Structure 1
């Protein structure tokens, strides 16, 4: 049995290894169009590789996917985070969980994961070829299987094919799959930071708060988490995760909208006013700008009081009501005019891809073409940051690999 895997990334490698392990007689070949293998694994997590997330309940894990959550619930029961941790540990790679739930190899080096996958591919007899792109897949109904037309003018025959070619921000790059009759959910960017050219806080680049809430004006969309001020606008998990949930909304707005930032996410307006009043009564002679509240960084507090029009020498006892009102606004719902986005490092993720209704999510097989399978970001599945996108790659690759290994009837 001849099996071709298109794409040498996380899903492709995992699918190829799962297939070769389940059926040692199968000839499994990975074709990668570039010269680089597992390139996203290399750069993930700042070069540490965020393998998965420390959450071993499939239904809870699935809630972290803006697209694909419903379909992944059952898939994670078959192969989820617990199985991923065990898979790597059985092959000599121990993972550790950080306080925020992200899981990394104990070496803190993505090369550890790359070495493991390449070692397993070699051990199970998987052939890996680089610099070969598949331009067309054509079913061969009379014989079964597929003919693959390559960029070098050659053809390959395959009994089964796994497409794990990754996500792509350009719609026309899915045309070769549309030619097979598959529908594509239009790709748009996900996991990006907010550009705020007129930000009054741009001088505070590098300042962060451990927990803030970012809400989109006029919409119910909001997210809480760490927030980082940058020289171009705002970043950090609160923004990145919000960009994933709002990927299509923001695309439709042309990435121009108003966000409202709460630097004191646990406060209501009533409790915030009460807290300010209590502090004023307890410390009437303290200077407002030089005594930060709510654990906020000094530089941020000073900037927010400046936005509220409070001069540097004003004491709490002298603070006019109108400036108190402005301070409440700045703390609770500071308006941020977003105009554009910036890709988060090299870890770009695309929302969109192959329509999941045309895929059997138990086996990852096409409902249109028997023997054709899909895994990874080529599917309309994307997760928030924290190891969720890699877990989707491991899961869909594993399910596809095991299914492809079954004897041909």
Structure 2
């Protein structure tokens, strides 16, 4: 039995390892068009590899896939995040769970995962071909033909694990298979903004910020990080995922509203600021930030509200007070573009999930053709969800619908 895996990333390697466990005598080949394998795993989690999320349940896990994540229940019921933790632990990877329930190898180094995958595939005799793009896949009466740059090869089964990219040409090798490709657009990106004063606060991290895209229903709440180009952090990345298609239509130019202390009624904020002004009448406004706002952000909000940080609270006018409350609760920021300073990890779009059986990950168009990972029109938020999708879909695909050897 010959099996081709197209794509040498997380899903591809995991599928190969599981295939060898299930079908010992199978001849398995991984085709990777890049010169190196597992490049996305290398940079995952800032190089630390956030390889899953310690979710409370499968239902909670599914909520973190914004486009029809409920379909993944069929997959996660066969190989869940708990199963992934056991799998890596059984294969010698100790792990740590941070305060956000993100899971990392104890080494805090993605190379731990890469070394494990390379070791297991080489030991089991998987053929690893880098710098070997697959130009086309043809379905035959009994198997598949892969068209390479200098040869053609025949296989009984094909598992496609190429990941995702916001470029139609990326999926061109699949065109002979008659699968619908949902237009891919970037997801999980940070925002470039116009406000130089806000960008000057680079390095400031703010908890529990409510971020909303004006004139839409898209919103996300959580940590926001100010960078030298604009805004990033979990809340921004989640918002970019939720609104991926809308933002692409807007060419990434839109107005963002920031409620810097979360979803709190403006009247309540007004009362709190008035109370501070009465209790701290003789103190400098800049020295007494509202709630737990970082001091540098507080100074920024004061200046944006035409308030001198060195002024006393007793000098605060009603007009300044109203403007300050507005900026704290609804700070309007012009976004100019999605950030291109970091590698795009995830795309929304890919092979239509309507054409894949999620009980087996087998194509509904061609028997013997399977899909796993981000090549599918499935994407998750930041926090280990996309790698969990890779492990789970690859595990299910590697069962080959329980074929006999």
Query: Helix, strand or coil for the counterpart of 1:200?
Result: helix
1:113 corresponds to: 113
CA contact (8 A) 1:49 1:110 kept: yes
Report the Cα distance in structure 2 between the residues aligned to 1:44 and 1:210, rounded to whole angstroms. 23
Match of residue 399, structure 2, among 393, 398, 402: 402
Cα distance between partner residues in 2 of 1:106 and 1:393:
21
Structure 2 Cα separation of the partners of residues 68 and 49 of structure 1 = 25
Correspondence for 1:13: 13
Aligned counterparts of 1:267 and 1:157: Cα–Cα separation in 2:
61
Query: Over residues 325-358 of structure 1, what are the superposed CA-to-partner deviations in whole Å (9 max), with x where a residue is unaligned?
Result: 0000110000001111114633521111000000
* Partner SS, residue 327 of structure 2: helix
Question: How big is the shift at 1:266?
Answer: 4.7
Q: Alignment partner of 1:192: what SS?
A: coil
Count the aligned residue pairs.
Answer: 405
Partners of 2:398 and 2:219 lie apart in 1 by 38
2:119 partner SS: helix
Is the deviation greater in 54-63 or in 154-163? Answer: 54-63
2:146 aligns with one of 130, 135, 148: 148
Question: Which shows bigger deviation, 396-405 or 42-51?
Answer: 396-405
Per-residue CA shift, 1:358-379, capped at 9, x if unaligned?
A: 0011111100000011111111
Q: Extract unaligned runs of 5+ from structure 2.
A: none
Per-residue Cα deviation, 1:144-193 (whole angstroms, up to 9, x for no partner): 00111102x20111000011111111012212223211001101110111
Structure 2 residue 133 is the aligned partner of structure 1 residue 133: yes
Does residue 250 (structure 1) correspond to residue 264 (structure 2)? The answer is no
- 2:64 maps to 64
Counterparts in 2 of 1:344 and 1:54: CA distance versus 1, 3 Å: farther
Q: How does 1:7-406 map to 2 (within 5 A)?
A: 7-141=7-141, 144-151=142-149, 153-343=150-340, 345-403=342-400, 406=403
SS in 2 for 1:64: coil
In 2, Cα distance between equivalents of 1:56 and 1:25 = 38
| Native 8 Å contact 2:193 2:229 kept in 1 | yes
Question: Distance in 2 between the 1:190 and 1:177 partners?
Answer: 22
Secondary structure at the residue paired with 2:200?
A: helix
Q: Deviations over 1:33-89 (max 9, x none)?
A: 121011111111111111100115111101001124021012111101000000011
TM-score computed with the length of structure 1 as normaliser? 0.96
CA contact (8 A) 1:216 1:222 kept: yes
In the aligned structure 2, how far is the partner of 1:291 from the partner of 1:129?
A: 61
Deviation string 1:241-290 (CA, Å, 9 cap, x unpaired) is 10001000101111111110011115211211111111122111112123
Distance 1:254 1:347 in 2: 16
Equivalent pair of 1:43/1:347 in contact (CA under 8 Å):
no
Contact kept? 1:5, 1:29, Cα under 8 Å: yes
User: Is the CA contact 1:20–1:405 (under 8 Å) kept in the aligned structure 2?
Assistant: no
Output the TM-score relative to the length of structure 2. 0.97
Aligned equivalents of 1:43, 1:404: Cα separation in 2: 32
